[in-house]
Amino acid sequence: MQIETLYSTDKYIVINKPFGLLSDENLVEGYLPCHRLDRETSGCLVLAKNETTKELIQVEFKKREVKKTYIVLVYGNIRKTVLKVFGSDSDDFVINAPVQRNPIAKVKFAIVKDGRDSVTEFKINDVIEVSENNVLSLLTCFPKTGRTHQIRVHLSSIGHPVYGDKMYAGEKRSFEGREELGRMFLHSSAIEFTDPYTNELISVNCPLPQHLQEFLNNLK
């Protein structure tokens, strides 16, 4: 499979990871992943040419200095939930809830009282009434921490799992989305970090894959 390179230097590259591949697979020969995206998440992924560069970039992730942006489609009218749960009619909201591996269903992650600090900022872009009983919401997400499944768990916790997410939306609810897309609707659309060698601010964007964009266009 041809992997699209979005940005490159002699020390690292940023690729557009296709959905369906693991981040730690040998996506580009000779390069090491500096962070991870879920198997079904596409978009910006930073790969390092050597261990030294990998460690330098990972320091930025650990210090929460990397700005990550995701586009996600979720089930339901999230504006109603934000008003009910947060008492706000703003399109901007934050979920600050600790995430840890689910103590019962080990394959999943969940909000757990003593879990790891997890913060995600959200912006509501659109609420789409597909039909009388079918409403979807389009969001931009800005995870401030990098916990496994963080965005998916945070959204599921307020009743709005990612469209097509079999694990957190359930098999029945996600069936139609998976039939249409073959995946969940979650895409890493931008990443911003500092080049560890030049101190230059690197900003990389990655548009929605064509099949996600076409699906979105057909909803409206």
Model confidence band, residue 195 (pLDDT cutoffs 50, 70, 90)? very high
pLDDT at residue 1, rounded to an integer: 73
| pTM of the predicted structure, to 2 decimals | 0.95
Task: For 151-177, write each residue's pLDDT tens digit.
Answer: 999 999 999 999 999 999 999 999 999
- Mean pLDDT (whole number) for 10-39: 94
Residues 1, 70, 39, CA angle at the centre, nearest 5°? 40
* Tokens found for residue 199: 């101190």
Residue 154 host element (H or E): helix 150-157
Q: Compute the mean pLDDT over every residue in the chain, rounded to the nearest whole number.
A: 96
- How far lies 93's CA from each of 7, 81, 139, in Å? 31, 11, 11
Does residue 133 have a pLDDT over 90? no
pLDDT at residue 106, rounded to an integer: 82
pLDDT at residue 105, rounded to an integer: 85
Fold of 4-219: Pseudouridine synthase (3.30.2350)
Angle subtended by helix axes 171-181 and 210-219, to nearest 10 = 110
CA torsion sign for 46, 51, 53, 56 is positive
Per the annotation, the verdict on 38 as an active-site residue is yes
Instruction: Give the start-to-end residue ranges of the domains of the chain.
Output: 4-219
Contact 45, 32 (CB under 8 A): no
Contact 99, 149 (CB under 8 A): yes
Check 10, 24, 38, 92 and give the catalytic one: 38
Residue with tokens 């945070």: 154
Task: For 57-86, write each residue's pLDDT tens digit.
Answer: 999 999 999 999 999 999 999 999 999 999
